[in-house]
Every structure is written in C-alpha cells, then in structure tokens.
Amino acid sequence: MQNVLITGTNRGIGKALVEEALRQGAEHVYAGTRTPLTHRDSRVTYLDLDVTDQAQIEAAAKTVESLDVLVNNAGLAAYDNLSDRALLEQHLAVNLFGPLAVTTAFLPQLIASRGAIVNVLSVAALASLPIIPAYSISKAAAFSLTQAQRALLAPQGVHVHAVLTGPTDTDMSRDLDVPKASPESVARAIFDGVAAGDEEIFPDALSAMLAPSWTDGAVKALERQNAALIG
C-alpha cells in the first residue's frame, strides 16, 4: 500500500484500520474524522471529513494529491422499528450517499493510480436485521452501489471491494449477546482481502460461512451477467 484514505476513523473498525494500514506499510494514511485527533505516527494525517458535508469532502479531495486505496468506513447504525422516516433518511445520507460523494470526489486520484475502493458493508445488506432495519436498508443500497461502481469503474482500472462484516465488537453491537470479532482482526482481514484482490471480503467467522459458495452463487452470477451489458 502507498497512500490510503479511511473515513470514520475516530473509533471502532475505522481506528483499527488506521493502525493496520500502518502495520502493513502504508506510506501515508489520511484519516477522516468528525472530531479533532492526533496520532503518534507522522505518516497519519487527520482530515475533517464528515461524509455528509460536501464542502468538507471537496476540501479533503484538494488536500490529497495521490491516493491508492479509499476505504469508505464511516457509518451510522441506530436501533429503530421503521417508524421514523427521518431516521431512515439519516442512514441513507451517511451509509449510501456519503460513500458515493466521497468516492466521486476522489475518483480522479484513484483512476490515476488504478487504485481500489473499499466499501465497508454488512451481512445485513444481504438479509435485513430487523432490530436495525434502517441500517440494513441503507447497507443493502450501498451493496448495490458497490456492484454498480465495480462494473462501471473496471474499464478505468479501479478495483471495487465489498466488505461484508458480521457482528464486530464496536459501539453498534457491544450489547448484543452474540459472538463478535475484534475490530483489529476485521481490519487485518480487510487489507489482506484487498491485497489478494478479493471482490467480496468476509472478515469474520460469521461472514466467512458465505465465502465457500459465494463465487459460484446466484448473486455473483447475476452481477457478472449484468456487468456484461456495459460492454
């Protein structure tokens, strides 16, 4: 890895991704955050980057001259029962339109480097988790966005990866009485998957159960068939 930008780095998986990028030898890590932070390693530059703030996104894109890997990690997850439309719209703003806006702003750098986009999603994108339905809906939309980006950007040499996470020991799922992966192990699996060229990355024990049948499964077969329509 050379230059990496990660959104949502103030805690959880995002914070672990910064450390893992450094461990794997990144030359520079741009860490997007809503709150001011500092880092002991001079290779880390924190950027004011609220993924719902177009002005901040554009300012960050002007700061970063060269980029090899963009990790769209920033996300929102709130427990609800779909009774609050405004809450669903907030989830879509962060989990769908945020990655779209950030990717669009940094696309020139990624095309120049023939780089990679990594969208951190969830297994809830495949089967809704009813206790967080707005989150599930927004991640399902973000998965569709990822598939569209993959097909549309392939001719320009940009690789697009989908990370389908299961329960991770973060603020979102800390109170759930289910086995959870550590943010550190998830971050390691994400960058290992990017290095291996995996289009879908299954970074924990739960999501890994999908991996053996994924490549030859119905979802990938349809994705390949639909992508072929572009050419």
Q: Which residues are catalytic?
A: 135
Tokens of 59: 């300012």
Q: Which residue type sits at 21?
A: A
Contact 98, 140 (CB under 8 A): no
Q: What angle do CA 225, 200, 75 make, to 5 degrees?
A: 115
Tokens of 51: 């993924």
Tokens of 205: 């024990």
Contacts of 67 (CB under 8 A, 6+ apart): 3, 4, 5, 30, 106, 109, 110, 113, 115
Of the candidates 122, 129, 123, 131, the residue with the CA atom closest to the CA atom of residue 80: 131
Q: Cα(24)–Cα(189) distance, rounded to whole angstroms? A: 12
